[in-house]
Amino acid sequence: MANSTDLPSASSPTLVLAHPTAAERRATWTLNSKSWGAALSLEDYIERETHLAEIPPTIDGGVTHWILTESSLPPDARPIYSASESLRRRTFVCFPGGEVTEGITHGIGSVFSPPAYRGRGYAARMLTLLGPVLNTWQKEVGESHFSILYSDIGKKYYTGFGWPPFASKHISLPAASLSSTNGVNGHKPEEAKLLYADDLKELCDLDEGYLRTEVAARTKTTRKPSVAIIPDHLTMTWHHLREQFMCTKLFPTRAPPTIHGAISSGALGSRIWIIFSRVFYGPLSDPKSGNNLYILRLVAEDAAAADTEENARRLKSVLEIAQGEAKEWGVGGVSVWNVSDAVKTLLQRTGLQYTTVDRESESIASLMWYGEGRGDVESVEWVGNEKYAWC
């Protein structure tokens, strides 16, 4: 590694954005495992990252790895000053006066500079180059009106490069065994049904239609462009394959989880369902690891989620299953991102214990807008800003 005095200035014209080779990717994972692989051994972490690049929807170009490096040196013999990856997701976008159109977005993840190269503006240079590139990256697949990332280092850094923060709140419920909540407010757990892998495709397809309608409605009422990442079956599959990998490593004697969500009773059009995933950041024994069961997506089929006792019971019945699964898998609790006001009102009716968190430093949903206008939280509506879109 070069002496710090030999390092190029971050603004040097010889620094370029490039794609790492397999060996360079491995070298980066070896260095960044401390940041994102705390729950796993180094070997398992590298295996996970390799695996995640080979599963739907990341295979066939769904993930792109990026590095900031020296243009004059050949692959595998060049320094990696900074690294990141981008994951492609399908989107809906609606402009005032227009129809909902489908396109793509790229979500940036794993932004990392090796410790020896930090504080010299290399990540800044990489992001400055990457932002505009992602506007047209893989344009043969679809049009991209925005890119996203989830900052774990607060709201300021990425805002400086054009990714200002959007809503980053969540509801947190404790893990609880079903038996301890059974019967409260007349609820019976059998009112909800568990969701398994085979149940998800049909619900995701339905949800796509609901979300399309919501995006159009939001543009109509706010007169602003509305965007959404589509909570499609492939996206859920990505989360569940990731979860499966983690559970296989962390619970070697146990079969990986098969319960992926819950759906309430009720006729089509009135049900409430959740799709969830257990996420592990650190050792199971450490309560500070932040391991959690995340609700990837919460759907109230009746978009207004009317404030009725019946709807509250439906919501409660599915959330209790999530709490039970959180307990079962030894994670701290259940987290639901950016709950709508209507669902919040229902939640109060359920009598469930919960807290509301407005995150300031971790998983800050951030969006770079490629269209006209400021493109910040005041001028663009991000519909369905929930955990499923995380990357």
Ligand X SMILES: CC(C)(COP(=O)(O)OP(=O)(O)OC[C@H]1O[C@@H](n2cnc3c(N)ncnc32)[C@H](O)[C@@H]1OP(=O)(O)O)[C@@H](O)C(=O)NCCC(=O)NCCS
Report in angstroms how near the CB of residue 166 gets to ligand X at its nearest: 15
CA dihedral 365, 115, 61, 364 (to 10 degrees): 0
Report in angstroms how near the CB of residue 22 gets to ligand X at its nearest: 21
User: How far out from the chain centre does Cα 99 lie?
Assistant: 26
Asked if 112 touches ligand X (CB under 6 A), the answer is yes
Report in angstroms how near the CB of residue 27 gets to ligand X at its nearest: 14
Residues in 318-337 at the binding interface with ligand X, rule: CB under 6 A: none
Report in angstroms how near the CB of residue 167 gets to ligand X at its nearest: 18
> Residue type at 201?
K
Report in angstroms how near the CB of residue 317 gets to ligand X at its nearest: 36
Query: Kind of pairing, strands 100-112 and 82-94?
Result: antiparallel
DSSP calls for 97-119: TS-EEEEEEEEEEEEE--GGGTT
Distances (CA, A) of 223 to 55, 92, 93, 226, 325: 38, 16, 13, 9, 41
Choose one: 121-129, 235-243, 314-322, 348-356; the region binding ligand X (CB under 6 A).
121-129
Residue 151's closest CA among 198, 111, 191, 116?
Answer: 111
Choose one: 51-59, 122-130, 276-284, 305-313; the region binding ligand X (CB under 6 A).
122-130
User: Which of 35, 136, 222, 258 touches ligand X by CB under 6 A?
Assistant: 35
Asked if 83 touches ligand X (CB under 6 A), the answer is no
Closer CB to ligand X, 69 or 350, in the complex: 69
Choose one: 105-113, 175-183, 223-231, 320-328; the region binding ligand X (CB under 6 A).
105-113
User: Which of 45, 66, 122, 354 touches ligand X by CB under 6 A?
Assistant: 122
Report in angstroms how near the CB of residue 234 gets to ligand X at its nearest: 24
Asked if 15 touches ligand X (CB under 6 A), the answer is no
Residues in 147-186 at the binding interface with ligand X, rule: CB under 6 A: 151-154, 157
Asked if 45 touches ligand X (CB under 6 A), the answer is no
Cβ proximity of 172 and 331 under 8 Å: no
DSSP classification of residue 155: S
Asked if 64 touches ligand X (CB under 6 A), the answer is no
Q: Which residue has the tokens 């344009």?
A: 139
DSSP classification of residue 282: S
DSSP calls for 340-379: -HHHHHHHHHHT---EEEE-SSSSEEEEEE-SSS--STTT
Which residues contact ligand X by CB under 6 A? 35, 82, 111-113, 118-124, 151-154, 157
